[in-house]
Amino acid sequence: MSVPAPGRGTGASGLPRRQALAALLLGGAGALAACTGLPTSGEVSGSNVVHGPDEQLVQSAAGPADGAAPEEIVIGFLRACAAGFFDDFATARAFLTDDAAASWQPTETVGVYDGSTAPVVVLADDAVDVTVDLIGDVDPAGVFTAAAEANHRCRYGLVADDAGQWRIAELPAGMLLSDGDLTTEFASASLYFLTPDHERLVPELRWLPRHELPRRLIEALLGGPSTWLAAGVATAVPEAAAVGDDGVVVEAGTAAVDLTGLGTPDQAQAGLLVAQIRATLVGATSDGGILVQDVAVRADGNELGPAASLPAVDTDPGAVVGMCTGAVVQGTASTRTTLVAAQTLGADTATHPTLGADGTVYVLSRSSLLRVPAGASAADVILSVGDADTEADSHELLAPIADRHGWVWTATAGALLAVDGRGRRAALVAPWLEDREVLAFDLAAESARIVVRHRADGSADRVSVAAIVRDGDAPTGLGDPLELPAAVVARTDAVVWYDPVSVAVLAAATDGQDAEASGVTRIPVGGALTTPITSPAATALTADRVTGTLQLTDADGQVWQRSGSAWRVGATDVADLAYPLA
């Protein structure tokens, strides 16, 4: 950290200003800042607590000290931002001039920086520069966008008022928090939208202030899905819908939601809307510390009734499927079930099975995709992209995935494709994949989202998530991508859905680490923080997409399964593991 202030005297403690400011930055609890860099520590804490009417613990921060130097004003402002959600940023505005206070919108953008590196605060004439390593930003709707930028600088212009007190007159838009402070002051929670056929819920992760969280969640839900997701989902929320005068009140575990602008929804629409609201709110905590367990939704004075019955996003997809001595089996234990006998496949080249929602099994055989309906005694070739008699395939097919609509996804020659049960190809439109090679992909459990690893000649890999666009059940393309830069660096090309709102990759070896050492990295879709998962060395991974259940395969063909925090070998004779979609 650098806080040079030559010739400007000493801090209140008698230390040189550089040391005094460093002590201020490092001396307390974690703090927030404004599109600035915020200190990783400071005076915002629970020591000056006040209790609101619902007895919630509220943070507070000190206002500007008399005679404070420019650097101290900026640092105090950054700390006051941390407590801003509890006093409507009144203390933070006290560090600003009247004009700046009137125009400043603290939640216009919330920059997020790497808190493991301390901000650098530099005095330059009548301005103070704060430099941080930016990770991304959160918009007013709670949407996080990754945007890594090392040495991101924010400048604060200061003037002296009539009393000779320094105040901030010019500042960047919004606020900026360390990644640690983001998780303290904001909650990561999912909004729930609908698949276009209204049969499944689709989550989208948002970051919203913990203060008045239930109301903020409903306001965000009414605002609709993010741009990247909107192309592949629906919502039962009418465009004119808004939170009513009674807002969202949580009592005895039930959130009473008051809405206006719904018009006269029919019973089906009302049930879907309540289902979206219920899924969004259950599990959230009110300012009074009450956990939401149910909802009661009222629109323009009328009760909307019960939620539509939709499968939960954590619905068990069933046991993992794999290959065992030429047969397709489900499960890895000794009680596994044989789905397709080896003699049915008629060759020893079958690999990478996938199980459809109707019980149909699809497998690869060199450059062909085979289909075996439930109970059938023979396999049909529904797709062939090379010479089936040639051992070295000229066009390799990626491991197929059967979605819940009866379409099977794979890729050949670097191009993503989907075929139905008769082998008819969908005309997929995805401009962002043009001239790029698809290296790996996976579908989310509800078949509405896809994650893709792809590259172009001479450029680095990218990992992107997109909504699947459909005409009825048939896929027609992909929406605009949401980039996941944290998933790019990995040990293998594989990228899988870990749970409804995150993906996973095999972690790359770090400096000094054994090249065969392993681990799994979990990356939230729309989140700032990755999670390392310790694991045995592995060459392949699969996940159930809903609960975070992982199956790893090592170089010796052993299948590792996690039980609590421990890993054990679950099988040694099953390969090409894949979970069916829920």
The 10s digit of each residue's pLDDT in 67-114 is: 999 999 998 998 888 778 888 899 999 999 999 999 999 999 999 999
Position 183 confidence tier, pLDDT thresholds 50, 70, 90: confident
The structure's pTM equals 0.87
Apex 105 CA angle, 102 and 108, nearest 5: 165
Report the distance separating Cα 289 and Cα 448, nearest Å.
34
In angstroms, the first-to-last Cα distance of the chain is: 50
Q: CATH 2.120.10.30: does it fit domain 321-578?
A: yes
Q: What three-state secondary structure class fits 221?
A: helix
User: Residue 136, Cα to own-chain centre: how many angstroms?
Assistant: 13
CB 471 within 8 A of CB 452: no
CB 237 within 8 A of CB 224: yes
Position 11 confidence tier, pLDDT thresholds 50, 70, 90: very low
* Confidence (pLDDT) at 315: 84
The 10s digit of each residue's pLDDT in 103-155 is: 999 999 999 999 898 889 899 888 999 999 999 999 999 999 998 899 999 99
Domain borders along the chain are: 17-185, 212-303, 321-578
CB 554 within 8 A of CB 571: no
Report the distance separating Cα 412 and Cα 428, nearest Å.
14
Query: Is pLDDT of 405 > 90?
Result: yes
Two tokens at 306?
A: 């019960």
* Confidence (pLDDT) at 38: 41
CB 505 within 8 A of CB 487: yes
Taking Cα atoms as reference points, which of 580, 579, 571, 581 lies closest to residue 324? 571
Kindly provide the residue ranges of all beta strands, DSSP E only, lying in 456-508, ordered along the sequence: 462-471, 474-478, 482-483, 496-499, 502-506
CB atoms within 10 A of CB 451: 26
Q: What three-state secondary structure class fits 18?
A: helix
- Say if residue 567 is exposed, middle or buried (CB neighbours under 10 Å; 0-12, 13-18, 19+): middle
Report the distance separating Cα 131 and Cα 498, nearest Å.
34
Let me know how long the chain is: 582
CB 545 within 8 A of CB 499: yes
Report the distance separating Cα 544 and Cα 319, nearest Å.
9
Taking Cα atoms as reference points, which of 36, 15, 35 lies closest to residue 27? 15
The 10s digit of each residue's pLDDT in 289-326 is: 899 999 999 998 899 999 999 998 888 888 999 999 99
Kindly provide the residue ranges of all beta strands, DSSP E only, lying in 356-430, ordered along the sequence: 361-365, 368-372, 380-384, 401-402, 408-412, 415-419
* Confidence (pLDDT) at 117: 87
Helix and strand numbers (H, E) in the chain are 10, 39
Apex 485 CA angle, 479 and 488, nearest 5: 105
The 10s digit of each residue's pLDDT in 247-281 is: 999 999 999 999 999 988 899 999 999 999 999 99
CA dihedral 338, 339, 342, 343 (to 10 degrees): 120
- Say if residue 544 is exposed, middle or buried (CB neighbours under 10 Å; 0-12, 13-18, 19+): buried
Q: Tell me which DSSP letter residue 431 carries.
A: G
